Every structure is written in structure tokens, then in C-alpha cells.
Amino acid sequence: MSDNGHQQNGHENVPSRQRRRFEGISSRTYEHPADRSALVALRRLSGFDTVFKALSGLLPERSLRLLFLSDSVRVSDAQFAHLNTMLRDACHILDLEKVPPMYVAQDPQPNAMCIGLDEPIIVVTTGLVELLDEEEMRAVVGHEVGHALSGHAVYRTILLFLTNLALRVAWIPLGNIAIMAIVTALREWFRKSELSADRAGLLVGQDLKASMRGLMKLAGGNHLHEMNVDAFLEQAEEYEAGGDLRDSVLKILNTLPRTHPFTTVRAAELKKWAESRDYQRVMDGHYPRRTEDKETSVSDSFRQSAASYATDVKNSKDPLMKLVSDIAGGAGDLGGRVRRGFGGFAGGTPKDQTAPEDRTSAKDQPPRDSTPEDDD
């Protein structure tokens, strides 16, 4: 299962060091449970994506292909050869038989994407190429190949097309509410698919430190001498556990419009998976094969997704998630917990927090305004 730099399945593989190869690996191996359940359900809808592939002329995909071909640099043995080697290496390790075309686009913003219906296209920007070193870039290329293997490019393009189509009829009464519900659900799936692709990048690079460095650079630029992985992960811990219920609500509002999780969160999630028994089993050669994908149960996948979310809520240190977990566990004094979670009410001490010696009869209390003042 090791990779020694020879040709297999038509891929010329020239790794900078020995890496493990995962022959016949199913994308279910690395997919986040929420991502996996959605993909399993979509794959079981026979003909769903075929219809949209037939209608690809209506989509901007053909235009995008022409745009990249005419105004970007296609990676090959003659152009960006080191990226071409990484791409072939990544496809070899994940046993992706057809190597997708890759383009380098002039853009100072570090970014990469995998799009397409008929066949995926990988695009990386010059900002990303200039920012990352070889091993960090290898993880990014593996990330995009993971998107291709999972079929994210197909389903993302389909669902984005449906979303854009729905936005055109937003004038219909209550249409905007329904559309926002769809968009919100899509973005949640997108965020989980990014966590899946991060895992694929780790399987390709097989260097957790390089993956962490790459994520830190995406957050703080090319100043590694000024950054520290442990301190960066502490930010993720502080982000999750810090503040009160108001901060929890703000975190939700900040996350809803995003298609990618926050960088510190991605780093923490990837480190957690890299330290898990699941990852070790994969590295030992125990993983699902593509030949078994058709036998995957949709209901089992959804149960695993639900269990994953339940575990996340149970183990979360976020104030709102802890409150939800306590409520689910039957904890009492809900009103008091909510008041404390929001920092209490200014202008008076909540009744359940009044010291015994201060509790006097109502007639002995001075008159007070029944409306509490704002905290700010």
C-alpha cells in the first residue's frame, strides 16, 4: 500500500517522500457525517444529476471552462510542473482514475475551488501558490481532489443552479423565506463538505503540521515566524467556549452567510480527526471501498449524521449548546439559566439570585421600575 514513485493506473507519481496509497478508497472514508448523509441520499436518486448534466448548456459551466482556458494557465508538465506532480500524486494516493484539469488564475486573494458537472475543474489562485510551501500546497491539492472524488463539484453546481433559479422567483409571497431556508441548508452542507475535503487533504499530504501551517497562513498570511500552532488552536477553544449566550447568537449570525467554516475551527476539527481512531484505522488500511458505495443505507447515513450532531452538542463548550444539552438532559431552572447566560439583567438582581438576608416583604421594598434597563 506504500507509494514508491512508480507508475500505477496510468499516473506518473513522483512524491517528495514515501506516502501511503489508498487503493479503491471510498470518499465515505473521510466525509463528515452530515456531508456523507446528504451525498448518499443524492447518489441514490438515480438520474438526478444526469438530467442536469444534459442541461449543462444552460449553466455557466461551459463559459467558465472557456474563461479559464483563455485567461488562466493550465497546469501541465510544461507549466507549473510542480503543481502537476502534486495533482497526479494526489489522484494516485486517493486512487482517482481520471486526473482533473487544473488551472492557475491570477488573483492575489488565496483561494482554490473545484467546480463542474461533466468533469471537475480545479482552480488555484496565484495568491495561494505564492503563499504556501510545497507540503502545504500538497494538502490543498489533496483537498480539491477530495472534492472531486466525493462528487462535491457535481452536486454543488446543481444545487447552486437551483438556488440561483429560486432567487429569480423571490417575489412570490413567502418565497424569500423558503429560499433563505434552502440557502441556509446549502451553506451548512457546504461548510461540512469543506471539513470533509480538509480530511482528504490530510490523507494526501499525510503531514498534519503542513495542513495546520496552511490553515494558519490562510488566516494570518506568510508570517509563520510570528505564529504558533498551539496558540492558534487555543483561539478555536476560546471561540467555542468564550462569552455568554449573546456571543453564541452572534457566532451563529456570523456563520450563516459563510460557505466555509472559520479557519481556527477547521484547524481544530482536522486535528481532532487526525487524533481519532478512525484516522488511524484508515492509515492502517482499514477503510470503506468504492465497490461498497451502492450498498450504503441512506437511513444509516442519516442516523450517523444525527448522532454526530448530538455528540457535537453534548461535547460543545459553547454556552448555547451547553444550555441545549442541559435542557435535553432534563436540567431545571431554565429561566434562571437563560438569564445568567445573557449576563443577567441590569437594574436589579434576578429573584433567584437574591441573597436570603436581603429578601424582605414587598411592602418593605422601595418602589422600582418594572422594566429593566438595557445592558449596554
Task: Provide the pairing of β-strand 121-125 with 112-115.
Answer: antiparallel
202 close to 194: Cβ distance less than 8 angstroms: no
333 close to 307: Cβ distance less than 8 angstroms: no
Task: Provide the pairing of β-strand 102-105 with 121-125.
Answer: parallel
> Which residues in 341-369 are b (16+ Cβ under 10 Å) and which e?
beebeeeeeeeeeeeeeeeeeeeeeeeee
Q: Using N-to-C axis directions, what is the helix angle for 175-205 and 152-167, rounded to 10°?
A: 160
Q: Using N-to-C axis directions, what is the helix angle for 33-44 and 175-205, rounded to 10°?
A: 110
290 close to 25: Cβ distance less than 8 angstroms: yes
DSSP states along 22-90: -TTB-GGGT--HHHHHHHHHHHHSTTHHHHHHHTGGGSTHHHHHHHHHHHSEE-SSSSSHHHHHHHHHH
Strand partners, 121: 115
Residue 2 sits at the vertex; the CA angle it makes with 74 and 82, to the nearest 5 degrees, is 20
| Among 51, 46, 141, CA closest to 96 | 141
Written as one letter, the residue type at 352 is: D
Strand partners, 289: 25
DSSP state of 25: B
Residue 316 has phi, psi (to 5 degrees) of -70, 145
Q: How many residues make up the chain in this entry? A: 376
Strand partners, 112: 124
Residues with catalytic roles: 144
Strand partners, 105: 125
